[in-house]
Structure 1
Amino acid sequence: MNKQQTNEFDKIILTAFMVSLARQFTDIPYAKELAQLIETQGLVKLSQPQNQDKSVLLTARIEARYKAINQVIAQYQITQVLELASGLLPRGLLMSSNPNITFIESDLPKMISCKQQLIQQLVVERPNLYFLEIDATNHPSEFWKSTPLLKAGQPVMILCEGLLTHLTLLEKQLVCANVREILHSYGGVWITPDFIDTGSLVRSQQDDSDLQKLLQTGTNLTGRSLVNNNFGTLDQARQFVYEQGFRVTEHSMLNVIDELSCLEILGIDPEVVRRMLAAQSVFALTLDSPSS
């Protein structure tokens, strides 16, 4: 990875702070605590004054994808988890409260260092919660940094939430290759809501002008479009996944609409959220040919 790409990726981590601040308007465990630490420690100064923009649909989308992923996770009896670009997600904190689960958070060096420091302020010690510096797009793969923490012969659950939407098609292919490699060695599943189509985002912006402002803010911060790097249609996303050697099971985000706490907290019209989530799915990906 060249220096220019490193700088670009470092900019992407700024969106993790935006998302974390939106997540505080939900009942997701540890979301409020993380957001409060970010604010009290001044970690969002660099996004002022844009961070004053607040999109209720952004919060609904974020809560829905988080809870939809958790719903899919519950369908698998897998106790080894590697979360890519974990940012400020609180999932590792929650899942590692079960001592039988090995949870590995990974992200770029600046982000994972910040995350580890924040987590240490919230919990005393979690011997089964790990933090690794991994660039998910790097070739050769850096996923093998997790090998000493994983038990051979047991499946691995790979998670990513919001990573692929920032990446070019080539970078998406690199992530797919790295995931494919580790699933070939361990077996398991890759769970992500990141294979989305541009059309659904455009429709959501029509329902919420503040979402359009926030997406533009994210583009300005990162230098990467949060809309144009997605797929033109959901069928194109599916075709891409198949071409990368995965089988897919889709789980509609509408499955969690009754669990969204932000609807009441922020007074959001459920029908607007229903329209937004209708075309959104969490993909559970497994190797197309596990024995190959």
Structure 2
Amino acid sequence: MEYTYNGMKAFWSGEEETQEKQKGVQSVLGNDQSYKAFTADTRIEDVIKDPAFGNFGRLLFPIDNRYYSGDTLGKLYLTWYSNINPNKTVEIVNYLKKRAKSGDTIFYDIYSDEEKAQDPTKEDTGLFFFRGNKGAKTAIINAGGGFVYVGAMQDSFPHALELSKKGYNAFALIYRPGAQTACEDLARAIAFLYENADELGIDMKDYSLWGGSAGARMAAWLGSYGTESFGEKRYPRPAAVIMQYTGLSEVTGKEPPTFACVGTNDGIASYKTMEDRINRIKANGTDAEIEVFQGLSHGFGLGEGTVAEGWINDAIKFWEKHMTE
């Protein structure tokens, strides 16, 4: 797959950071100060090495450090992303640390030790679990990163956290870069969740696939072609696909119900291309919606503090509309 990217920089004013940077700590920890919480001033290296995260702390941020910069959580910048909210970054890592310290499993391998020994690149894969209600429906979220890295801290972790707050079980996939390997990893993740649904306490019926940028292509491809096209046995297709800012144009006629959103100033994914695809899906008789946000650039994530804020609630309603029970 070929991509043409323009450099995008994150922004979050100093005044906003001053007002907000402690909220991520407070909202997750409440009055529990039994261990030192992360703040916007915490070094990213210290988060990665925190004992609570074992050997998977390195997967919280891009494995290839050429695609992110900033020494602290508050100064994190991810290539091709905009509107990174330091408060949300702090909230995410504190949420995960609190759950890990409480004895909950927050990370699952999707490949066996034997498979990882045969292909060491599979060491850099897995699912971060943002737990909702026991037995609730499941969402799988795929971050973008141009199929060269995984931008989870902006493009899947925030979504997973918000979905879990609404009671849904959400999994953020860390996959191998590359269109083919990424889709193979997503297919394996779906298989893993189906095979372990009872143990995990999740409902995979009417699951949804979410993604931004390259991650949106993964969600669309698995939704249209199925797990059987990427090395796994056939599992049910998703009830809905939720896509952000990707210029995918192909329509197979096998698309699940699809919700999309994008900004008009996206220099990577044309909103017109996305509108055209949604219209073609609708013309095939499949439910599809798109929200286009004036002035937004690529990689806005949850869109907090922008005209896109709240889009995730519309996406959840779209998914819920297509649940069969």
Larger relative contact order (Cα-Cα within 8 Å, sequence gap ≥ 6): 1
Whether these two folds match at TM > 0.5 is: no
Q: TM-score, with normalisation over the residues of structure 2?
A: 0.37
Q: Give the structure with the larger helix fraction.
A: 1
Q: TM-score, with normalisation over the residues of structure 1?
A: 0.40
